[in-house]
Structure 1
Amino acid sequence: MPIHRGYLLARLLQIPPHPSRIQSLRYSGRRLESIYMGENYTHFYGGNSLNRLSWLRPNAAFVSGLFPSPASRCVIFRGGEPLVANHIQDGRTSTILAKVPSGELRSVLGEEPFFGQGQHPGEIAAEDIKVLKSARWRGPNLIFLGVEEPDAELSTPARVEDVRGTPYFALDATDIPTDDLLSTLNVSDSQRLEFAEPRSATAKLSSFDASLFALARTMVDWLGRRKFCPACGSRTYPLWAGWKLSCSSVLPWAENPGKSPCPSSSGLNNYMHPRTDAVVITAVLDETGDRILLGRNKKFPSAFYSTLAGFLEPGESFEDAVKREIWEESGVRVHAVRYHSGQPWPYPANLMIGCYASADSSQTIRTDLDNELEDARWFTREEVLSVLAHPDGTNIRRREYKNFDEAQDQSTKSATVAGSIDPQPLKDQPPFRVPPQSAIAGVLISQWAKGEVPGLSSSYSGATSLKGKI
């Protein structure tokens, strides 16, 4: 059946067609109630509101002048763990992301300038040398994140004195002795500073702090992991205030006798810019719309099930990756893939692409293809709602977070994360657990169970309820 041109145009522009035409639209014989996603869903770690001022990153005078200003703040990491402030009041402890006045950190950063460093300590690099623009090749990694502005309308400042709001930086203090670092900071009697396991420490952050943490941790991790040029093996150094890497062999004073020029010195190279790894994560619904396919990784925590996920591979679209991953992990063929939302996931640098898809539940489930899963099964809406209503239904214990990271480090293919196996639920515990709302998997599961998925009919009758396919 031909598709109306207005429908195609609306899909391209992501706008609804005229209301009088919505009821008459057909796609593969199914009535469409909605052909666009509507309002975006902002996930935990998402919705970053900083004015990143990307065009000013190469301006060493600007970022160097901005760092010591009284309004500037810095978030600090050690080995991926954020510095948090524990506030003690009336016997209660609350944890927030520590935002340290940047000026207090001068003694641990080395000699100025902090950006645009020349060959010798204290020397300012010439402004016309591209490979030295806001370069920092001495001292711990320091990154300009952006400015939190008082107004929703983003400004375009040209000078430090034009900036209105709070500039934010991120510091990798992994190689700075903790005692040396903490001794430079002014801490009140009601505060206790410490580096904390990131997932549990950030679980109750405000939306702004969560998005700030996600950006900062991803950038710190990227710089910390890429210390050597993948093209020639020379040391790398950050420029553009931490947003670009360069090979040290291209420094004006570098001595490279007998070596060919580094390939990174010409053209655009994807290994010299911040990395984001795309992951498709999908809630698969059966043809009635009343059951959901969830899987249990072999190393998941006790009785823990989640939506299936995996990294996007070269040459794939989102929907291609969804179909391949679900098939490889569960042996189930899916169709009607529909995008829901995306979530930045700073462990270490993922972008989770959340989708829904439909499948025939009579297919045989098999987990022997890539052996990622211990189990995969269909759960009813009633089963999931019961778990969501249980006080421990989405609870992840603090000791389990470390296992998640260890399991992810061991995996080279799947983006699902894991912990220790304990298939028997404890007394007074739910029969299984699902991810919390801070993870996109938890949102996909919860919205489906509660009938809150945009474009799904309230009756949940059949795969026909999947609207706005990609």
Structure 2
Amino acid sequence: MSEAFTNFLGGSPLNRLSWLRTSHSFLNAVVVSPSTRWILFNGGQPLIASHTGTQKRSLALLTTEDVKPLLGAEPFFGQGEQEGQHCASDLPVLEAARIHGLPIVFLGLNETQSSGSALPSSEFKDPHSAVSKLVGTAYFSADVADLDENKVNEAIENTQLAKDGSTLTFVEPRAAMSSLDAYTAAIFAEARSMVDWNQRNKFCPACGSPAYSLWAGWKLGCTSLLPWADNTDKKPCPSGRGLHNFSHPRTDPVVIMLAIDESGEKILLGRNKKFPSQFYSALAGFVEPGESFEDAVKREMWEEAGVKVWNIRYHSGQPWPYPANLMVGYYATADSSAPIRTDLDNELEDARWYTREEILAVLRHSSGTQFSRSDYKKIAEIQDGPDDSSASAKPQEQLVEVNNDEPPFRVPAPSVMAGVLIQHWVEKRQYHM
């Protein structure tokens, strides 16, 4: 069985060590390791480093010493009622709790040994000794949007990267994708979705009390459940009953599908009303409750284009951290002679069948998958955002420029799910088909 295709933003190199998220002794030991690195965001915008004497930009990976001025007093995890106080016990409501300061997310460990050296939770009776046995780089992330701007700027100016001459700026996340390689892109995808979830969910959904961070940013608890909470004249919060009533991160799946006619030589592309001029893409939509991926493909194709599909085949998935989607790519078969309708949900401005030659002409064009900053902004404004593309995405080597005129239409770059589906169809690649 062949390996599945790995999309940009996927293929995470990290061992997430989920069984150690509850251990504040492990987290407090690993967070101060000199090899640990941080990804900072400001309202979802990642910190990007522009390097002196070169046009190169990259994701700014900071040390714990760099970010300490933004984190507040230690301990960073397992905090008690007062700032600087360790929690008194290992109660479930205090597992790796962070009561004070901005939420911190532990992303995982990039192990440098191929066999893996991550240790079981039972090894952490002496956490500092156990952490010394780990070989690799631990990653953490945080969003500084709620901190004083001057304090943030001062901390950034005093980072080692800044002292070495790099310029550090927070950048719109989709534009920042052009600064990411495959390794940092996958870590970025996890980090951005997680800090966004922590930023958006500040109150208990059951009773409205303030929420606090547990499990190194992977769980939220209701402050009414804390041992020192004053709940006089309050009804017990429902989140304290049962095992599954705390808030955990969510991922919203989106099916994104390319309809191919029975000859295999035509594909159906649509144009959303908010898309930039002459931009066409694969159709897409959110999976609804009580619906399988395949059901969603059929429903969305019918609702958006009035097209009935069958022979639905999975291609691959792509994490899409805007804010927490999973793009699930599919091919499906349809009748290209049947009428197309865009008047059912009125989401599309146009939909039409394109031949392989027409798509090839666009992909070979120097501007066929290129967009301006304003174009990216328009695409980003679409709620489901499955067809956004990277500013740096380039056609693959075999696709050469044929002229400098405007292409007849444009399609997504091969760095995004829709672009991958189109590219692989053109190349007749048979991933899961």
TM-score, normalised on structure 1?
0.83
Contact 2:387-2:416 within 8 A present in 1 as well: no
Name the structure 2 match of 1:351: 326
Q: Which of 26, 34, 41 in structure 2 is aligned with 1:62?
A: 26
Secondary structure at 2:16's aligned position in 1? coil
Distance of 2:197 and 2:333 partners within structure 1: 36
Name the structure 1 match of 2:241: 266
Name the structure 1 match of 2:154: 180
Counterparts of residues 10-409 of structure 1 (less than 5 Å): 38-89=2-53, 92-157=54-119, 158=123, 159-176=130-147, 177=149, 178-186=152-160, 187-269=162-244, 272-408=247-383
Change (3 A) 1:319 1:287: same
Distance of 1:272 and 1:113 partners within structure 2: 23
Distance of 2:170 and 2:418 partners within structure 1: 27
Change (3 A) 1:415 1:196: closer
Contact 1:301-1:418 within 8 A present in 2 as well: no
Report how far residue 61 of structure 1 moved.
1.1
Distance of 1:271 and 1:58 partners within structure 2: 14
Contact 1:311-1:415 within 8 A present in 2 as well: no
Q: How many residues align?
A: 406
Structure 1 stretches lacking a partner, 5+ long = 1-14, 16-37, 409-413, 420-426, 456-466
Name the structure 2 match of 1:448: 425
Per-residue CA deviation, residues 156-196 of structure 1 (Å, 9 max, x unaligned), is 22322222111100011112314233133122454111001
Per-residue CA deviation, residues 243-272 of structure 1 (Å, 9 max, x unaligned), is 111111111111122222111112244761
Worse-matched range after superposition: 183-192 or 201-210:
183-192
Report how far residue 361 of structure 1 moved.
1.0
Contact 2:117-2:133 within 8 A present in 1 as well: no
Contact 1:407-1:418 within 8 A present in 2 as well: no
Report how far residue 398 of structure 1 moved.
2.4
Per-residue CA deviation, residues 423-468 of structure 1 (Å, 9 max, x unaligned), is xxxx82111111111101100001101211336xxxxxxxxxxx5x
- The aligned amino acid for 1:164 is V
Distance of 2:294 and 2:243 partners within structure 1: 28
> Does 2:394 align with 1:432?
no
Change (3 A) 1:198 1:57: same
Per-residue CA deviation, residues 214-262 of structure 1 (Å, 9 max, x unaligned), is 0000100011111111111111111101111111111111112222211
TM-score, normalised on structure 2?
0.90
Distance of 1:221 and 1:337 partners within structure 2: 33
- The aligned amino acid for 2:59 is L
- The aligned amino acid for 2:323 is P
Per-residue CA deviation, residues 371-390 of structure 1 (Å, 9 max, x unaligned), is 11111110110010110111
Secondary structure at 1:228's aligned position in 2? coil
Change (3 A) 1:301 1:268: farther
Secondary structure at 1:93's aligned position in 2? coil
Structure 2 stretches lacking a partner, 5+ long = 124-129, 390-403
Root mean square deviation, CA, Å: 1.7
Report how far residue 405 of structure 1 moved.
2.8
Counterparts of residues 401-420 of structure 1 (less than 5 Å): 401-408=376-383, 416=386
Name the structure 1 match of 2:127: none
Worse-matched range after superposition: 136-145 or 259-268:
259-268
Distance of 1:391 and 1:263 partners within structure 2: 57
> % of aligned pairs identical?
53
Report how far residue 335 of structure 1 moved.
0.3
